[in-house]
Each structure stands twice: as C-alpha cells, then as structure tokens.
A and B are shown apart, each in its own frame.
Chain A
Amino acid sequence: MSEKSTHAHMAVFAKIDHIAEALERLREFGIQEKDMSVISGYPISDEMLGRPMVWSNVPKIAMGGFIGAFIISIALNWGTPLLYPIHVGGQPLLPVPPTIILTFEISMLGLMLSTFLGVLWESLFPSYGPKIYHPDVSHGKIGLVFTCPDDQCAAIHKALTEAGAEWVRQMEAKPL
C-alpha cells in the first residue's frame, strides 16, 4: 500500500452492528487494522467491534509513579530528620508510625498523578494539531476513519454505504 497514493476517509454510522460489518468489509479490501480507527461519543469495546484489543500502559505508568513517590517519601521521612535533626523529648528521630502515614499519602499522590499523566502520555494529549474528525461523532454517530489507496476508494465507499454508512467521504485533517 505504501507505494500507492493514499488519503484519509471517514464514514459515519448510526449503529454498532453496521460499523462492525464495515470493519469486516475494509479488511476484505486489504486495509490493515492500523489504518482504521473507530471514534465515538461513548466507549465501544474492542469485542463489539471485532477489533484487536487496544493495550494501555496506564497501569504500568501508575505503578511506576507509586514506586517513585514511595522512594521520595522514604527519602523525605528518613533523610530530612537526619539532615536537620529536631530532638523532641523522649521521641525517636525516625518514628515509624508517622512515617507510615506520610509514606501512604505521598505514594498515593504519586500513583494518581502518574495515572493522570499516563492518560495524557498514552493519548498524546494535549494535541491541538489538525485531525480527522467530524462533530457528528459527539451528536451520537460512530465514525470510522481509515486510509485507502486512491484506486480502491470508490469501491470501498460503495461497500461501506451498503454496510449502513450514512455518509462516506474523503476528509482533510483540521484543527478541532
């Protein structure tokens, strides 16, 4: 496909059944999974669409943040009293119970901050550049964005229309 001229196209559907059928048609035309994408106003699972599962690294990033914050917390809890000792009568310099409290809070903050940043990282947010999109998606329609060789476009448009597309057209990426 790479030797042929390709363009981005978008088809819009009203029903999940129709878009699952349309994805099947695209595969029959030799379009690769990586060259098609479904966009919708609510989550539609991979199983419903018959698509390979999208992998998310957010849990790993979250765990990384938790571990990082845990280490920082231990450093703060043990390091600061050693660097700047405050001797309070009869109390240890490195008390365990308060350390547990502070370590828990700081580690959980690390977990949740990294989860949040993980979503941004994995979704490439913020991203304000031009994209293939149509507001019909937030009106409840389901969009199918795909690239196809120019010489196959007419046949693919026809096949998608037969599969239930409300409209199919070549799209230019625009700022959202």
Chain B
Amino acid sequence: MTANIPAIPLGDAHHDAEAEYREEHLMLDPRPREEMNNMVLESMRDKSLSFWVTAGVLGMLVAVALFGAWGYMIANGMGVTGIRRPVFWGVFIANFVFWIGISHAGTFVSAILRVFKAEFRRPFTRAAELMTTFGLAAAGLYPLIHLGRTWRFYWMIPYPNQRWLWPNFHSPLVWDMIAITTYLLSSTMYLYLPLIPDLAMARDHSEGWAKKIYGWLAMGWRGTEAEFRHLNTAINIFAFAIIPVMFSVHTIVAWDFAVSKVVGWHSTVFGPYFVTGAILSGVSAVTMVLALIRGTMKNMKYFIRPEHFDALGKLVLIFSMSWGYFFFNDFNLEWYGGEAAGHAVMEYHTKGPLAWIWYGMLIANLIIPWATLWNKNVRRNPWAMFVIGFIINLGMYAERYMIVTFVLSRGRMPFDWGWYKPSLVELAISLGSIALFLFLYVVASRLIPLVPVWEVQEGQLAHTLRKIGRATVISVSELE
C-alpha cells in the first residue's frame, strides 16, 4: 500500500473495465495528494470577474433587500407587512421553516452517510455541512425579524430580571430557541472538526496573512497519530449524536404548529411530516449546490461526478415518496374525519382562489420527482438534477407557505376568516435571506477548502479493483 494509492493488479484484458471504473468513481481514480491539494486550492483562489460580480450583486441584495427592508420595517412598524388579523404568521414564519428544512440535509447527508460508511459521501460532505450552517444563519434571523421589536429579543432569554418578566421555561418558544441553538452550535462544530486537517493543508500552501489566519484556525495541527485518533473519535460521536438532534429540531418546529388548537395544525403526524419534508427539500438543495459548484468552480468536475448526483437522486426519490406518505396521512384523516372546520381548511386548499399553489406543490414534490428520478440518465445529469431540485424546493416552499397562511386564513369561526397577501417589504426580506445564504456560500467557497481532501485520499486508499472469475469488481478495505 502506498501513500499515493495502489497500483491495481489487473491483467491487460481488464484495462477497459479499469478505465471505465476510474472514470466513473472518484474513489478509484486517485491522483497524487499534492495534485489534489493544488486542485482544491486553485478553485479557492480563482477570483475571476464573474466571482466578484456574483459576490457584489449578492452582497448588494443582502444590504438593500434584507437589511434595508428590515430596517425600514423596524422604523415604520409591522404595519408595513401584510400580516393582519387573522393571519398573524406570514412569510417570515414560512421562511423560517423553509430555511430550517434546508439546513437539515447538510447534516443528514454528512452524518448518516458517515455512520453507514457510504463511500460516495467523501467529496461533498463539507459542501453539504456548509448548507446547514448558512441555512441556520438565514433561519435564525426570522424569529428576530418576526418579533417586530427586534431589540427586545433578549426578553425571551429566561433569567431573573427587574422587569418581573420570567418567560415560561417550558414554553414551545423556549424549545425552539434551545433546539436551534443546539443545532447551530453542533453543526458548526461538526463542520469545523473535519476542516482542521484541510486548514493545516491550506496553511502549508499559503504565505503572509493567509498563512497566519489558516495557521490560527488549524490550531497547531500536524497530523500525528494521536491527533487523528482524537479527531476521528470525535467525528464519529458527532455523526451519531447529531442525527437525533437534527430530527428533534424540525420536530420541534412542527410542534410550534401542532401543539396549538388551530384546525389544520393540530396533527400528531406533523413531526415526521415536517422532518421528511425538510430532508426532501434539503437533499434537493444539496444537488443544486453541487451542480453549481461543479459547473462554476475550477477542477470540481474531478471531485463531483455523475455518480454523486445518481446517489443523491435516489435519496431525493425515496424522500419524495416518504413525504407523499406523510402528506397522505395528514390529508386522509382530516378528510375522513369530516369535521366542518377541517373541511373548510381543506376546501380552501383544494378549491380556493389560491388552489393552484396546492396543486403546484403536489406536482413539484411528487409528480416531477417520480416521473423523472427513476431514470438513471436523469439522475446522472447535474443540470437536470439542479432543475428538479429547484422545482422541489419551490414545492416545499409552497407547502410551508400554505401551512402557515392558508390555515390561519380559515379558522374555526367563519366571521374571522381573512386573507393574506405578503407586502413588498416581506418579499424583499425573503429575497434578501436567499441572497444572504448564497453570499455566505460564495464567500466561503473562496476561503475554505470545499472538498475534504484528506477524507478523499483516505477513501481512495481503501478502494481497489479485484478480479473475481471473469469479472472486475470494486473492493473496499476497512482501514479505520
């Protein structure tokens, strides 16, 4: 076994099969470590005009659409939004749920694939984990925005004070705050730990201030046996521990709705229904991000290959089916129960003036993935996966929008039925949060290695080709 990957002992007759395998699988297509380092660093250092234009436009959108509109709202009050009786939760809460959902897949993809030792995960775990951190950054803004008087957010924090205000520690709002804080801190640490060896690699390849910053972030990493032992032990603990936390966070977000007595929200299936939807939208978003990284960053075609889109496409299909199952659970029992208030809410969804959103959601979340993702050629096409991922995310956003606003529009008392239309300020803030997520991602892509090179090399060491009978097959060794 060598550091720069083993020669594969095959006869001449198998060279064609070997070449095919190498082209298909990153794990079977090793390159010298230094070359892989340089490929990743080159992609980080490529600051072309298109990069600056993209970062500049996104930065402007964040400044104007997000913070500008938010500042305008703070100055003029919540009256500038479309939030009116009876719809007191508008797009801000829909956006909050959406971004929490997006943030789920990063950790899900990374942690669960690590636990099950799915080797195809190796090149894109970090790209997925970054989605979690930045998705949570966008999500975390919305409770503050929705609060209106943002500067009083600390009133939520339970500590003895002279105001004689003591938030109920057992309130669902406190569940939310603690769960999101736990998830944000955990996923940031889970992002940072595997990054340390790559930061050390960047340190060794940098000069000047960049070397100082990478050196500071790498904390003195050298790659000793003990350092790797502690790191791998910690990553394994994180991978197991963060999965139930991930499930709990979106379940708690679902319970924000379900613990109320609002018809259409008070559902026992809401927890798993929300979690499945979150993973569906998040995994779809991972495919979109990977397609963008592969299509726009240098050298990424080597690391991100059709095999990865193929595997993620299967995950998307499975979660689309799971989402359909939970959706039908929720829908069918309400329909069968025959409660008048419940039927009024359902009729508003299926026959109301905005019913096209409900049908659009079903087309986007069920029909399109089921009609396309059974096909391997579609799953292996990055831009097709980008489009499908985008459509699914539109569908999932529509679902959150309807859960929040449609249900509140049709309460138990017909005299209190109403209508919600998001204002320009709300739309601007929503657009701004999308820009914030993209801006953070674009900036991060030039500051940290998006591909965990050491994990890719470790995986490549473990893979080889064997001849069994007349077939050439992939063999994976247990190196850990």
Contact = CB atoms under 8 A, between A and B. Distances in A.
Contacts of B24: none
Interface stretch (A24-32, A107-115, A153-161): A107-115
B413 interface: no
Interface stretch (B54-62, B230-238, B336-344): B230-238
A172 to B, nearest CB: 15
Interface string B108-128: 000000000000000000000
A8 interface: no
B144 to A, nearest CB: 20
Interface residues of A, number: 68
Nearest to B211: A176
Contacts of A2: none
B179 A105 contact: yes
Contact of B169 (A15, A40, A62, A76): A76
A77 B205 contact: no
B175 interface: yes
Contact of A105 (B172, B178, B203, B224): B178
Contact of A108 (B33, B186, B457): B186
B162 interface: no
Contact of B220 (A99, A115, A128): A128
Contact of A125 (B2, B160, B220, B238): B220
Given A56-B233, A98-B170, A138-B200, A126 B245 contact: no
B227 A123 contact: yes
B457 A127 contact: no
Interface of A: 13-17, 37-46, 48-49, 51, 54, 56, 58-59, 62, 76-77, 80-81, 83-84, 86, 88, 95, 98-99, 101-102, 104-106, 108-109, 111-113, 115-116, 118-120, 122-129, 131, 133, 135, 137-142, 175-176
Given A115-B238, A116-B193, A140-B32, A49 B225 contact: yes
B193 A119 contact: yes
Interface in B297-351: none
Given A17-B1, A41-B201, A139-B33, A54 B229 contact: yes
B424 interface: no
Given A38-B225, A115-B238, A140-B34, A102 B182 contact: no
B454 interface: yes
Given A39-B224, A59-B237, A122 B205 contact: no
Contacts of A43: 228-229, 231-232, 454, 458, 479-480
A127 B182 CA distance: 27
11 contacts: A42-B455, A42-B457, A59-B237, A80-B158, A98-B171, A98-B172, A105-B182, A126-B219, A128-B220, A138-B33, A140-B4
A111 B189 CA distance: 12
Contact of B223 (A17, A39, A98, A120): A39
B252 interface: yes
A62 B37 contact: no
Which of B4, B230, B241 has most chain A Cβ within 10 Å? B230
A80 B158 CA distance: 9
B462 to A, nearest CB: 11
B204 interface: yes
Given A106-B182, A128-B215, A98 B175 contact: yes
Contact of A41 (B1, B193, B241, B457): B457
A127 B218 CA distance: 9
Which of A98, A105, A106 has most chain B Cβ within 10 Å? A105
Given A86-B168, A122-B226, A176 B218 contact: yes
B181 A16 contact: no
A141 B221 CA distance: 16
B346 to A, nearest CB: 29
Contacts of A113: 185, 189
Interface string B447-475: 00000011101100100000000000000
Contacts of A131: 220, 222
B3 interface: yes
A70 B454 CA distance: 35
A138 B220 contact: no
Contacts of A142: 3
Contacts of B172: 98
Which of B166, B168, B229 has most chain A Cβ within 10 Å? B229
A94 to B, nearest CB: 9
B197 interface: yes
Contacts of A112: 182, 185-186, 189-190, 237-238, 241-242, 245
A53 B33 CA distance: 26
A37 B189 contact: no
B397 to A, nearest CB: 27
B381 interface: no
B1 A84 contact: no
